Structure 1
Amino acid sequence: MGYADELFDLSGRVVLVTGGSRGLGRAMAFGAARCGADVVVASRKYDACAAVSTEIEKETGRAALPYAVHLGRWDELPGLVDAVHARFGRLDVLVNNAGMSPVYDDLTEVTEKMFDAVVGLNLKGPFRLSVLAGARMAEAGGGTIVNVSSTGSVRPRPAIVPYAAAKAGLNAVTEGLAQALGPAVRVNTLMCGPFDTWATRGWQQDPEQLTEGVRAHALQRIGDPREVVGAALYLMSDASSYTSGATLRVDGGMP
């Protein structure tokens, strides 16, 4: 095994990816397994989690645990952490990837229920899960948390105001928890730009519209979900052993 392989090696570790059944989460779960980790694929729909888990086990030979949970519901999160420890006896990496941004035509259409749901999934849930998982990581002697944020948190557009606000809050959570859980646990933000996933297709059905928004970016294209994996593995692994409270942008060169 070469030096770079050793830095990114996740053998013997357990990685939990929320929103892991599709999009960026699915790509990151596969990436972690390919680097030797056992993985937990968590999202609301058990069947989707189970399908991805089966694919991961078949392709990589690593163990994969599917788990159905609503990440925005505070009282469901202790059970998720307990289930991971019951199955694997440990949790080394938490990737808070689950998120959503409902489509609306005008800000006056944003209801309290919609706003609360967006904040719950994108901010409240990751905070609570990080605290629960981080406390156990600290007791065990170490671990790492990766909060998946969005460039919308620093470049908010009218179409994503509640989502952008929640992700901005998540950026703050990263820095606060890095201090609270250190030195044993590292906490970082993976700030993603536009990727070709189900979420961005929901915002803009027309492929031309999907491309238009990234023409000002340095790379002038939308990202493929597989292109987030290298940065995610950096933050998950010992390659980032002196990195905490940081924000790593993967956005094709946002202006």
Structure 2
Amino acid sequence: MKSKPFDLSGKVALITGGSRGLGRATALAYADHGADVVVASRNIENCEAVCADIRSRGRNALAIAVHMGRWDQIDAMVDRACSEFGRIDILVNNAGMSPVAPSSLETSEKLVDSVLALNFKGPFRLSALVGSRMAAGNGGSIINVSSVGSIRPAPEFAPYSGAKAALNALTTAHAAEFAPRVRVNAVLPGSFRTDVSRHWPADKERLTPAVMKRFGEPEEIVTTMLYLASDHSSFTTGTMIRVDGGRP
């Protein structure tokens, strides 16, 4: 094991939803600890802005526009990333959406399909592509960004909770499928202060963790993401780590 905490020198990370919020904070932290980073999201301008920050830290970066609900784009992204860097050592499935709805009856089929595609279908395909390459090569780490909503669901975002619960199940399944060379874990964030929080209900204070009595800041998830990406978690796989401020 490397003696320097969370040393990612020589590693290549691919982060979906990496242009903002928790994904951006993770991308910059990985670069600060020595990794080159592929930043992927639907907005290429935002990806390029994060890549500029990464390059200013002395690391290489690649911006890729991708819709994580479309498998043809996912396949092309993996091919491009591997062509550019030769491999992917760390995969962070962070892209997602958590729309709220007034009731299940008023939730449209289109919304359910979109939520499942982005939060489960996309990570399933991307993990299958990258995990199989990792298992056949030098191994690696896959980190699925789930949600505390997967184990503490609420009516307003039932499809999202269901999709993230499926992502938890996928974490366990892929940890077994790609072992022993690949570790697959999930992080379950609680209420973080990102741009997504602007779309929460007007009484969003009730989403605030009961123990910490505040929202988390994106930087507060970084240590967990570094731990799971680095060799310091070499005996950790198939687990779900809550980072939710003590949500009941």
TM-score (norm 1): 0.94
Matched ranges for 1:211-226 at <5 A? 211-214=205-208, 216=210, 218-226=211-219
Runs of at least 5 residues in structure 2 that lack an aligned partner in the other structure: none
Distance 2:241 2:181 in 1: 20
- 1:215 to partner: Cα distance: 5.1
Residue in structure 2 matching 1:179, options 176, 180, 199: 176
Contact 2:147 2:190 in 1 (8 A): yes
Deviation string for 1:7-49 (max 9, x for gaps)? Answer: 4100000001100000000000001000000001000111111
Instruction: Report what 2:50 is aligned to.
Output: 52
- Asked whether the 8 Å contact 1:31–1:229 carries over to 2, the reply is yes
Corresponding residue for 2:36? 38
Residue 15 of structure 1, aligned match among 6, 13, 16? 13
The alpha carbon displacement at 1:239 in A equals: 1.0
1:121-132 counterparts in 2 under 5 A?
121-132=118-129
Tell me, what secondary structure is at the counterpart of 1:75? helix
Distance in 1 of aligned mates of 2:138 and 2:53: 31
Offset of residue 219 of structure 1: 1.0
Is contact 1:11–1:35 with CA below 8 Å preserved after alignment? yes
Distance in 1 separating the partners of 2:67 and 2:141: 22
Matched length: 247
1:107 partner letter: S
Q: Identify if the C-alpha distance between structure 1 residues 253 and 215 changes in structure 2 by more than 3 Å, giving closer, same or farther.
A: closer
Percent identity over the alignment is 53
Flag the 1:183–1:201 CA change in 2: closer, same or farther, 3 A: same
| 1:149 and 2:146 correspond | yes
1:76 positional shift: 1.3
Contact 1:201-1:210 at 8 Å conserved across structures? no
* Partner Cα distance (1:65, 1:136) in 2: 19
Give me the TM-score of the superposition, normalised by structure 2: 0.97
The root-mean-square deviation of aligned C-alpha atoms, in Å, is 1.2
In the alignment, the residues of structure 2 paired with residue 84 and residue 252 of structure 1 have an alpha-carbon distance, to the nearest angstrom, of: 35
Match of 2:84 in 1: 87
Whether the 8 Å contact between 1:195 and 1:223 is mirrored in structure 2 is yes
Distance 1:99 1:14 in 2: 22
Q: Are 1:98 and 2:95 an aligned pair?
A: yes
Q: Secondary structure at the match of 1:39?
A: strand
Provide, for residues 36-93 of structure 1, a one-character-per-residue CA deviation record: whole Å limited to 9, x for no partner. 00001000111111111112211x1101100000011122111111111111111100
Task: Give the conservation status (yes or no) of the 8 Å contact 2:90–2:140.
Answer: yes
Q: Distance in 2 between matches of 1:66 and 1:169?
A: 28
What secondary structure, in the 3-state scheme, does the structure 2 residue paired with 1:47 have?
helix
Q: Which residue of 2 aligns with 1:108?
A: 105
Conserved? CA contact 1:15–1:94, under 8 Å:
yes
* Alignment partner of 1:232 is 2:225: yes
Displacement of 1:149 = 0.4
SS across alignment from 2:146: strand
How far is 1:210 from its partner?
Answer: 3.2
Unpaired stretches in structure 1, ≥5 consecutive residues: none
Q: Matched residues in 1 for 2:166 and 2:217: separation?
A: 26
